[in-house]
Structure 1
């Protein structure tokens, strides 16, 4: 008899926003990955992936961060990230940073090839389906980086459709930016607020109890706008609901 293959050793890249603002997303990611048969490690010494520096034109600083992150994540079967934007930075932009540095390019490409947004990894690679429940209606926002750089759209919906009691309601303009855009909302606050106003109105009129998405930055932006507008819609990272942790405090409700 052929011995069973050992469980994949997965490195969870937590992301700085999750670590600082919403750690329960990280714990939900671990719970879901372990349920999907993975051995999860959280490499010590993680920092930002370097996306803000890269987007701001600070290429030297972004390259230094990328080198440190690549060295930290090498040696794992997969690197899983609960953020489409951070996953895209490692998977798409790291190799571009080192296009003229053959030694580092090979290392960047090797890490990039094993890096996945968490819902894509659970759905496409592991073929896993949740055995959780939540009696609620939810609508889903497709974050820009995950959608446009990684093709993350059907995967979270397939997983959420297996959460017993959860009904998904379409969101008008689901693929439209929420106005966050990382440093965009700092550089262009008036434009960002106008975009967020339209997005919040669409969410509030959807009839959903919950707003779900795959990037904490987008969720913080939308949850903040909904709260300021007096909306009762509560925001969660989709992995929290998928992992059975959607009954706790929503984003912005922590004390």
Structure 2
């Protein structure tokens, strides 16, 4: 008897929706290849991370409740962003812990919510088939994915299955790129100094491609690399895994 495919809600994220929709399409392609039934809920909005990071817990709680009610019917929730996934998995239960109704619902949803690379690797046990790209990449570990969700080996295992792709080690791969959500807006000079060091380290790898799992980080690093005249091109890892790594890179769309 063929098992019923999990019904997965793809929570696209604000940045992907507004800046790089291709990541969303790549996520759908990879999830379907991994045997999932994928739904993109029409009613989704911001997860509440910017409000939470700015200290507006009331707005964050309101957005959390909206998201929980929308996402509860699905078997799993998959998000192509470590920071947004961590907001749902880690912070929804925290900000709603004293709410008798919503606290348990937040905990239940958190247990079924995953960052996409971790989901494809750990939950679905998937590997890309027939995907090839003759290039050298280097991988940046985004802060939220690494520190809040433990995402480190999963993307590298998945990328190792892309024929022709080799990964060059990145010095300081676990060091912040300087984006930090609202941090880069509040402290632009510090953010720029941090990403300048990161860009130098990326160029030193000799890689063709910069890969990561969070669009905010990728936009920050790609912007600095482009301004410095670097030839390194940036992609979300799921774009390569879905066989979409030969198109325009992040920052090249215009």
Q: Tell me the TM-score normalized by structure 2.
A: 0.99
Q: Which ranges of structure 1 fall in alignment gaps of 5 or more residues?
A: none
Matched residue, 2:3: 5
Q: 4+ residue stretches of structure 1 with deviation over 4 A?
A: none
Once the two structures are superposed, what CA deviation does each residue of 1:29-63 show, in whole Å capped at 9, x if it has no partner? Answer: 00000000000000111111100000000011111
Aligned-residue offset at 1:4: 2.2
Say whether residues 1:216 and 2:202 are aligned partners. Answer: no
Say whether residues 1:158 and 2:157 are aligned partners. Answer: yes
Matched residue, 2:133: 134
Once the two structures are superposed, what CA deviation does each residue of 1:148-175 show, in whole Å capped at 9, x if it has no partner? Answer: 0000000000000000000000000000
Matched residue, 1:95: 93
Matched residue, 2:107: 109
Matched residue, 2:186: 187
Distance 1:75 1:106 in 2: 15
Which of 27, 33, 44 is equivalent to 2:25? 27
Once the two structures are superposed, what CA deviation does each residue of 1:120-151 show, in whole Å capped at 9, x if it has no partner? Answer: 00000000000111110000000000000000
Distance 1:167 1:234 in 2: 15
Distance 1:71 1:252 in 2: 35
SS state at 2:77 partner: strand
Q: What is the RMSD computed on CA atoms of the aligned residues?
A: 0.5
SS state at 1:62 partner: helix
Q: Tell me the TM-score normalized by structure 1.
A: 0.98
Distance 2:120 2:212 in 1: 16
Distance 2:208 2:54 in 1: 36
Aligned-residue offset at 1:11: 0.4
- Aligned length, in residue pairs: 253
Distance 1:192 1:88 in 2: 22
Q: Which ranges of structure 2 fall in alignment gaps of 5 or more residues?
A: none
Once the two structures are superposed, what CA deviation does each residue of 1:99-120 show, in whole Å capped at 9, x if it has no partner? Answer: 1112101110111000000010
Aligned-residue offset at 1:13: 0.3
Distance 1:49 1:100 in 2: 19
SS state at 2:119 partner: helix
